[in-house]
Amino acid sequence: MATTTLRPGSTEQPGPTALRLSDVLDALVQGPPPFRFTAYDGSSTGPQDAPVGLHLANSRGVAYVATAPGSLGLARAYISGDLQVSGISPGDPYPLLRRLDDGLHWRRPDPRTIARIARSLGVSRLVPPAPPPQEALPDWRRAVEGLRHSRRRDAEAIHHHYDVSNTFYERLLGPSMAYTCACYPRADATLEEAQDYKHELVFRKLGLRPGQRLLDVGCGWGGMVRHAARRGVKALGVTLSEEQAGWGQEAIRREGLQDLAEIRHGDYRDVAERGLDGVSSIGLTEHIGVANYPAYFRFLRDRLRPGGRLLNHCITRPDNVHGARVRNGFIDRYVFPDGELTGSGRIISAIQDVGGFEVRHEENLREHYARTCGAWCANLVEHWDACVAEVGEATAKVWGLYLAGSRLGFERNQIQLHQVLAVKLRADGGADFPLRPDWSSA
């Protein structure tokens, strides 16, 4: 079968005997696709009145998809502009992702069809193009930065995700600058109300009172630190992100909380303070690495006084069976390099197994995180032009895709969010814990 060899990025059409790109899609999908598909070769498929359309603009997009099947190849083509989407805002592609999840069913063609597809695509489109510059290095290349979850490599991973632009995050997250799951006290609560409620919930679960001391590890821009300081608690936050630390310290100065609040740029493992009344870990465990849980929870235990409490808040898997590594997909390359997720049961076991901790409460806030991601997407849509001007269209598209996909994942129980509350027991086994939870009215 004759084919035409195309350069990456070319819009030249294939030879007359080659499969059209719409034919390739039809061969890979069961039934009509749940979107209108068009391609640079003039072919099309799918309902003409579909509310969402996908246009494959050039052969580089084909090469991205063909050489990295699954979410990574599609993301590369979309982020680079080679796969163009109509009918949605790039700040919130949730309608497209939900449509794909509901109505796109792949099938494995027979060997003869696979061979014909390969010949039709041509050799040039089976050679991986250079990925978009927003993509992190593959896992084997990151080894140059150090062993997985070494201090140097952890710092590089945090830099990739969090040191984007404080101005961008202000528009995305809103005034709270809280980049963790909110907790909605009512269905009609705003994002800001829900983030404040989350901080108050953590504060009450930790049983904090004026004059006591809190350590917030992985503190982000310091929302929990400032919340505690406003209530008379001396609060220390630690983050590996220099931009977060600078923004947080300035926010502390603006509120006049310098005597009670501090944010340090550094590794939590360098915190020397002990005898603390509470430790909050909100959204950091995902970056620690499951193999490092014992050392992590021992370290936090040793920072607490007897009777002090730990609140661990993190994204989890819905089971304790699957591996923790997030390998080679969109999330690993574009969002959380070296991220690891496991089930809440494994986290609870790790806390219990270090000794000296007693787990007293856990809850799943899965639906709350779906709402939170939806609210962040709404902010991105509202401020799309300003966000693009700040970080570029490709990076803004990464965030829209990531947050919309996360929303869908939380809604469909592919991922969860668990808060686990533990207390460091006294030598006599006492826990200084109320007979019934006293934070339900937070």
DSSP 270: G
pLDDT value, residue 111: 92
**Rounded distance between C-alpha atoms, residue 10 and residue 23, angstroms:** 19
Structure tokens at 224: 């929990």
Least confident of 38-42, 131-135, 224-228: 131-135
**Rounded distance between C-alpha atoms, residue 376 and residue 399, angstroms:** 10
Q: pLDDT for 191-218, tens place per residue?
A: 999 999 999 999 999 999 999 999 999 9
Contact 150, 412 (CB under 8 A): no
User: Has residue 160 got a pLDDT over 50?
Assistant: no
For 341, other C-beta atoms within 10 Å of its C-beta total 21
Q: pLDDT for 379-410, tens place per residue?
A: 999 999 999 999 999 999 999 999 999 999 99
Tell me the average pLDDT of the chain.
90
Contact 338, 153 (CB under 8 A): yes
Question: What is the value of pTM for the model shown?
Answer: 0.90
> Quick one: 112 exposed, middle or buried, by C-beta within 10 A (0-12, 13-18, 19+)?
exposed
User: Has residue 28 got a pLDDT over 60?
Assistant: yes
Calculate mean pLDDT across residues 109-130.
88
pLDDT value, residue 322: 83
Any residues with CB less than 8 A from the CB of 39 and at least 6 apart, and which? 20, 21, 22, 55, 56
User: Has residue 291 got a pLDDT over 80?
Assistant: yes
pLDDT value, residue 153: 53
User: Has residue 140 got a pLDDT over 70?
Assistant: no
As its CATH architecture, domain 151-424 has 3-Layer(aba) Sandwich (3.40)
Which residue matches tokens 């609560």?
A: 189
User: Has residue 3 got a pLDDT over 50?
Assistant: no
pLDDT value, residue 1: 32
User: Has residue 255 got a pLDDT over 90?
Assistant: yes
Q: Which residue has the higher pLDDT, 149 or 51?
A: 51
Rounded to 10 deg, the angle between the 393-411 and 366-382 helix axes is 150
User: Has residue 23 got a pLDDT over 60?
Assistant: yes
Contact 183, 368 (CB under 8 A): yes
Contact 56, 120 (CB under 8 A): no
Instruction: Give CATH 3.40.50.150 domain extents, the chain.
Output: 151-424
Q: pLDDT for 79-95, tens place per residue?
A: 999 999 999 999 999 99
Calculate mean pLDDT across residues 44-53.
96
Query: What single letter denotes the amino acid at residue 391?
Result: V
**Rounded distance between C-alpha atoms, residue 189 and residue 327, angstroms:** 36
**Rounded distance between C-alpha atoms, residue 275 and residue 280, angstroms:** 14
Calculate mean pLDDT across residues 138-158.
57
Structure tokens at 141: 């290349």
Contact 9, 60 (CB under 8 A): yes
Q: pLDDT for 315-361, tens place per residue?
A: 999 999 987 766 658 888 888 887 899 999 999 999 999 999 999 99
For 122, other C-beta atoms within 10 Å of its C-beta total 20
Q: pLDDT for 309-326, tens place per residue?
A: 999 999 999 999 987 766
Res. 54 pLDDT band, cuts 50 70 90: very high
pLDDT value, residue 125: 80
> Dihedral (C-alpha) 127, 133, 135, 136: value to the nearest 10 degrees?
110
Calculate mean pLDDT across residues 372-377.
98
